[in-house]
Structures are given as C-alpha cells and as structure tokens.
C-alpha cells in the first residue's frame, strides 16, 4: 500500500469512527449502557460484598445445655452480627437453610462444658449455608473471630499465648477462598468491560444490517477492515473510559489500591477490549440482527466472565475440565492481570503471560470475524 | 480519467450476461442479460419479485452469481475493489443513517470517498441546490419526507460523480412532483456521459428511459427503445397502447 493509499484508508476509518461517534452521542441508551451501568453495577457488587452484614440469622443447636454453651450463645448474640433465630436439633438445620430462616448453625455437642473443664480440646461445629458463598464467607470470618474471643476469655490470662482450648471446625462447601471488595472490583471491571464491549459492537454492526446501510457501505469505496476498525474505535475509547471510571470509583469508594501502573491497567484493558470487540463483531456478522446479536452478546460475554473468570468462583476450585475451559476465556486473564497490577503492584515481568493470552484471543477472533464479514448482502 | 477508462470506452458501461442466481427454491435470476452504454439511461422494468433488485445487487458486486457474468466498465464488481470508486448505488431500502442530518449523511459519504474538502463543498452545494434540499441540511434523515429522503440518497450516491449509477426503485413511494424532479436530475447526469441503470415497478416510467428491458421471473421478456416498442405493439393490433398494456400483454404471453 502506498503512502497516499494508506492516508485515504485512514481517512475512511476516521469517517466511520466519526459517524459512529455521532450515533453514540445521539443515543442515550448506548451511553447509559457504557457509562452509567458500570457505576451502578460497581456499587451493587461492591457494597453487596464489602458492607458488613448485621444480625445474620443463626440457628443454635445446643446439645450440651450447659452454662458454657449458653455463654457461647451469648457471645454470638452479643456480637450484634448474629441473631439467634432458632434452637433446632441438628437434624432440623437443613430445613432452616432451605427456607432461608438461618444462614448458619452453631452446633454445640454434648460434653462441650465437660471438655472445657477438663482442659481438653472442645469442639463446636459451624454449619454454613454455602448457597450464597459471599454471605457464607462473612459468617465464617465472624464466627471464627467470636469463637477466638470466647476461647481467649475462657482460657484467661493463664493460657494466653497457648493453643486456645476452643476450636471451631468449619465446613464450607462452595467458596473457601476469602474475598472482599478489594478482590471483587478488578473482577467486576472484567465483567463490565466484557459485557458492554460485546453488546455495543454487536448492536452497532447488526444495526448497519438492519438499517440497510450495510448495502450502501459495501457499494462505497470503504473496505471491510476499514468498516471494522472505524466501527470498533469509538467503542474501544468508550471501553477504556469505562475502565478508568471503574478503577477510579473502586479506589475512591472502596479503597481499592492502585499499587501498579495505571498505564499497564489501560494496556490490559486495551488488549482485552480488542478481543471483546472482536467477539461482538463476530456475533453480529453471523447474526445480522440486533435482537439475536444482543442476546448472543449478553450470554457469551456475561456467563464466562462471571462464572469462569475467577471473578467470583476461584478457578482453583473448579473441576479440571472447567479449569481448562477457563483458559479460553480472556476475562480470566484480565481478572488475574488487574488483581496483580492493582493489589500487588505487579508489572509486565510477572503478568506478560496474561497479556499474551488476551492478545492471542484478540487477534484470533478479529481475524475470524473479519474473514466471516463478507462484502455480500445475501 | 485514467487509461483504463479510455481502454474500456468502447465496451458497454454495464454488462449483464446470462446472470443466474437461486435463493433456495426461488430462482431470482434465470439467465438475465442486457447492456447499458455510457450516456444511456436504461430502465429495468418489471413487477415485484421479477429479479430487479437481485440484478442490481449482482452488478454492484453485493451478491455472488451462480452463473453468467456481471461487469461494470469491463471489471468484475464482486472481486475488483477499484469498481467501487467509479460506481454509485442507491439501494431500494432505506440505506442512509436516520439519526444523522442531511449534511452529516452527505459529509460521511464524501469522507468515505475521500473527496478533498474543496471538491466536496462544491459538489455537495450543487447537489443540495439541484435537489432543493439546501434549506433542510440540518434536518435529520428520519424527519425527511419520502421524496426528500430519496433525493438525499441520490445525492449521496452522486457525490463521487460515478461513471455508472445503479438505482433500485428510486421512485418507489415518492410523490409525482418529486418523481418528475428525480427523473429530471437523472437526465442531466446522463447528458454528461454517466451510464444509469434504474429499476422500477412503474410501467409508465418506461417512457422516461432511453431503453427499457422488461424483466419477469429473472428473464428479459422484451427490450428496446420505448417509442419503438409501442409502435411495434400497435402494429401488432393494439390501438393507441400504453406501456402498461404492452408489459401486461408480454407477461401474460410469457406465462
């Protein structure tokens, strides 16, 4: 390509991008989807996870019925984080979980007081409703803290520093990894970027088909790659703005640290977005219809980025086949990368494999989408 | 004008030869063939579903043919990108951006054609004056009347001053005054050497063309200069015939 031809090509890309920007400016829904939704989601996710939950309904199965077990119950109730809502037998706990009456059950076995008095290791069992792993983890952390405090009290000064006499044995089924807003915000960024980027592009390209303007574009001197680039650039910019917004809100509202380089965050965002825009493009090229493109876009962007990215569910806990599939999900690498940059201050030296994986996905899907994007209307 | 144009000056501007195309069980084009010379306004007339749109799309390189050939200025429009620099298309369906204004639509297609600023300003001003859209430059395309919209679409297709212009039912849904204006505009461009292929379901529009081809079931039933076709039809025993009678008669005999 000669210099003049390249210049003309860039002008056509600029024309496409300029036109697309007008569409975005004139369509409040697009802007809302890109800029308002992320902030709302961030608040929902962030507060849902970081705010302390008060008065969690606790079932207290006291099989010991002793002074010591009642003292333990008071310790839990006095914490104001738990509220004892039922005194079931052990067998009744399951139904309390099922109806949502309690999210946790503390079972004090027979002989608890005796063990304490004899100076033996006393065990109580905490059962968690793991259906909501976030609440489950909160309960776990708090119950552990209360039990420690109680055991310190029981042990008294004489036992200070020694092995505490009371140990809580915990059984959590779904989410053993402790989490907080710090951990969630980078994860949410991946999810939000994925969903908006895929949806916006899917809508934008399918819109050209639906509007009938694709026929006019195909008959004009603009090339396929120029159409693709021109359509994607505004959404790339919008996506990066969204990422900045999410990181800034995370830092200001949820005290998420930014220990690494913001430029690296943007670079990760850029490469990830390129892949997501390619995915949106591919969907719309195949679907040619905004409704189908929206649904396919939402599903293909949302589910993997929530379920398989490690945003909520730790990848290490997944069955091996799912772990393998998660390697194909770019969101996984962005979540890992952003956590590394923001929370640990990691640089490219550590995170380059994540960047490389996202870049491979982006190049692959863009190539596939452009190849499928034929200059034919039927 | 480059050497290629000079070299092709002898051949037809538009050449359709034995074009065939099926969509599933439907045969859209069944060996359709015709030619359009430079400076000629050729009308492809036929009822809905005759294959006019498919023929125009094939000539614009927007669909693949199962057989036969389509050539624009001697080039294969489906595979030679340089065709699009010299071709204008006005699709049948709405194909402009409805949330963009008249001026924005024009500017967008001008920029896609990478027209230099001065050239764009001169041409767009002239087209806006010709189409009398100048007072409406800031009006959004979705707020234009049907006729104004078609004139805008035509202006967008004409910005590049193409050597060949393909128009798919440009007068469909347009009021009689605007129709007359559109035809007037087309004749002006044809006089300057442009080859224009226009499709229309309106039989009475045939007389406005230099030559017409009657299409039915993807085949050419009848072709010639409108006046001559009418004379021949009259000689065949139809006193003072109209184009509608001529075409309906031809279609009836073909079926």
The CATH number assigned to the domain holding A76 equals: 3.40.1710.10
ipTM score of the complex? 0.88
- Within a domain: A26: yes
- Within a domain: A20: yes
Do A184 and A317 fall into the same domain?
A: yes
Q: Length of chain B, please?
A: 255
Do A139 and A242 fall into the same domain?
A: no
**How far away is chain B from the Cα of A50, in angstroms, using its nearest Cα?**
43
**How far away is chain A from the Cα of B159, in angstroms, using its nearest Cα?**
11
Do A360 and A298 fall into the same domain?
A: yes
With beta carbons less than 8 A apart as the criterion, state whether A301 and A279 touch. yes
Do A74 and A203 fall into the same domain?
A: no
- Within a domain: A2: no
Do A21 and A107 fall into the same domain?
A: no
Helices A224-254 and A3-26 cross at an angle (nearest 10°) of: 50
- Within a domain: A236: yes
Please identify, among A136, A151, A166, the residue that sits at the C-terminal boundary of a domain: A151
- Within a domain: A307: yes
- Within a domain: A288: yes
Burial level of A201, CB count in 10 A (0-12/13-18/19+)?
buried
Q: Which helix (H) or strand (E) holds B72?
A: strand B67-72
**How far away is chain B from the Cα of A291, in angstroms, using its nearest Cα?**
19
- Within a domain: A173: no
Cβ-proximal residues to A35 (8 Å cutoff; 6+ apart), any chain: A238, A241, A242, A245
In this complex, the residue of B57, B88, B98 whose CB is nearest that of residue A377 is B57
Do A65 and A213 fall into the same domain?
A: no
**Per-residue pLDDT in tens (0 to 9) along chain A, 378 residues:** 688 889 999 999 999 999 999 998 888 887 887 788 888 887 777 666 544 456 788 888 888 888 888 888 888 887 767 888 888 776 777 788 878 788 888 888 888 888 888 878 888 888 887 777 767 777 787 788 787 777 777 766 344 444 545 555 554 432 333 445 667 777 888 888 888 888 888 888 888 888 889 888 998 889 888 998 898 899 899 889 988 988 888 888 877 888 889 999 999 999 999 999 899 888 888 887 888 888 888 888 888 888 888 877 778 878 888 888 888 889 999 988 998 898 888 889 999 999 999 999 999 999 998 888 888 887
Helices A37-50 and A224-254 cross at an angle (nearest 10°) of: 40
Number of domains in chain A: 2
Which stretches of chain A are DSSP H helices?
3-26, 28-31, 37-50, 67-78, 93-99, 112-117, 133-155, 181-211, 213-219, 224-254, 262-287, 290-303, 320-326, 330-339, 348-372
- Tell me which residue of A175, A80, A195 sits closest to A128, measured CA to CA: A175
| B94/A221 CB distance under 8 A | no
Do A316 and A281 fall into the same domain?
A: yes
Calculate the CA dihedral of residues A110, A116, A117, A118 and round it to 10 degrees: 90
Angle formed at CA B233 by CA B228 and CA B238, multiple of 5 degrees: 140
Do A230 and A95 fall into the same domain?
A: no
| B114/A11 CB distance under 8 A | yes
Q: Which domain holds residue A68?
A: 56-151
With beta carbons less than 8 A apart as the criterion, state whether B155 and B128 touch. yes
Q: β-strands B14-23, B195-200: how paired?
A: unpaired
| pTM of this structure | 0.76
> What's the CA gap between A337 and A190, in Å, rounded?
10
- Tell me which residue of A261, A193, A267 sits closest to A42, measured CA to CA: A193
Do A73 and A39 fall into the same domain?
A: no
Mutation to test the A interface, candidates B62, B94, B98, most A Cβ within 10 Å: B62
Do A34 and A89 fall into the same domain?
A: no
- Within a domain: A264: yes
Report chain B's C-alpha Rg in angstroms. Answer: 18
């Amino acid at each position: 390509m000669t210099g003049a031809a390249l210049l003309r090509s860039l002008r056509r890309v600029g024309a496409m991008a300029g036109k697309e920007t007008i569409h975005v400016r004139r369509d409040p829904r697009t802007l809302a989807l890109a800029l308002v939704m992320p902030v709302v989601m961030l608040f929902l996710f962030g507060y849902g996870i970081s705010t302390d939950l008060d008065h969690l309904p606790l079932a207290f199965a006291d099989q010991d019925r002793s002074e010591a077990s009642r003292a333990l119950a008071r310790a839990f109730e006095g914490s104001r984080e738990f509220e004892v809502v039922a005194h079931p037998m052990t067998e009744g706990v399951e139904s309390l979980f099922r109806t949502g009456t309690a999210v946790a059950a503390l079972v004090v076995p027979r002989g608890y007081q005796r063990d304490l008095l004899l100076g033996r290791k006393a065990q109580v069992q905490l059962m968690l409703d793991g259906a909501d792993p976030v609440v489950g983890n909160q309960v776990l952390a708090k119950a552990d803290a209360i039990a420690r405090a109680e055991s310190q009290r029981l042990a008294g000064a004489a036992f200070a520093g020694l092995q505490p006499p009371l140990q809580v044995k915990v059984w959590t089924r779904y989410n053993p990894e402790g989490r907080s807003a710090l951990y969630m915000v980078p994860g949410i960024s991946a999810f939000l970027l994925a969903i908006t980027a895929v949806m916006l592009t899917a809508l934008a390209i399918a819109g050209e088909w639906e509007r009938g303007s694709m026929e006019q574009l195909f008959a004009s001197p603009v090339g396929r790659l120029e159409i693709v680039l021109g359509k994607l650039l505004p959404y790339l910019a919008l996506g990066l703005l969204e990422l900045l917004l999410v990181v800034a809100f995370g830092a200001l509202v949820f005290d998420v640290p930014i220990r690494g380089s913001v430029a690296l965050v943007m670079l990760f965002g850029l490469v990830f977005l390129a892949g997501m825009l390619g995915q949106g493009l591919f969907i719309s090229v195949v679907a040619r219809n905004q409704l189908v493109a929206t649904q396919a876009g939402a599903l293909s962007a949302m589910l993997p980025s929530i379920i398989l990215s490690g945003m909520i569910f730790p990848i290490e806990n997944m069955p091996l086949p799912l772990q393998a599939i998660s390697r194909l999900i770019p969101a996984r690498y962005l979540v890992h990368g952003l956590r590394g940059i923001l929370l640990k201050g990691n640089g490219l030296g550590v995170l380059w494999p994540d960047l490389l994986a996202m870049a491979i996905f982006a190049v692959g899907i863009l190539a596939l989408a452009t190849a499928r994007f034929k200059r034919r209307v039927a | 004008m480059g050497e290629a144009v000079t070299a092709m000056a002898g051949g037809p501007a538009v050449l359709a030869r034995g074009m065939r195309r099926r969509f599933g069980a439907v045969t859209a084009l069944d060996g359709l063939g015709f030619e359009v010379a430079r400076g000629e306004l050729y009308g492809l007339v036929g009822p809905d579903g005759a294959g006019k749109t498919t023929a125009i799309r094939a000539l614009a390189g927007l669909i693949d043919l199962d057989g036969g050939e389509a050539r624009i200025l001697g080039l294969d429009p489906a595979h030679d990108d340089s065709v699009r620099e010299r071709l204008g298309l006005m699709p049948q369906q709405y194909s402009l951006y409805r949330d963009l204004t008249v001026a924005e639509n024009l500017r967008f297609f001008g920029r896609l054609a990478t027209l230099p600023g001065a050239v764009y300003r001169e041409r767009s001003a002239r087209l806006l004056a010709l189409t009398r859209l100048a007072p409406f430059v800031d009006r959004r395309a979705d707020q234009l009347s049907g006729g104004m919209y078609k004139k805008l679409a035509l202006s967008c297709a004409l910005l590049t001053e193409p050597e060949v212009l393909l128009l798919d039912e440009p007068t469909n849904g347009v009021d009689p005054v605007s129709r007359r204006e559109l035809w007037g505009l087309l004749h002006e461009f044809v006089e300057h050497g442009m080859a224009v292929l226009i499709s229309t379901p309106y039989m009475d529009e045939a007389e406005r063309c230099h030559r017409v081809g009657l299409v039915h079931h993807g085949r050419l039933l009848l072709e010639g200069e409108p006046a001559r076709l009418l004379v021949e039809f009259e000689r065949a025993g139809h006193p003072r015939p109209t184009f509608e009678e001529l075409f309906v008669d031809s279609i009836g005999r073909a079926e």
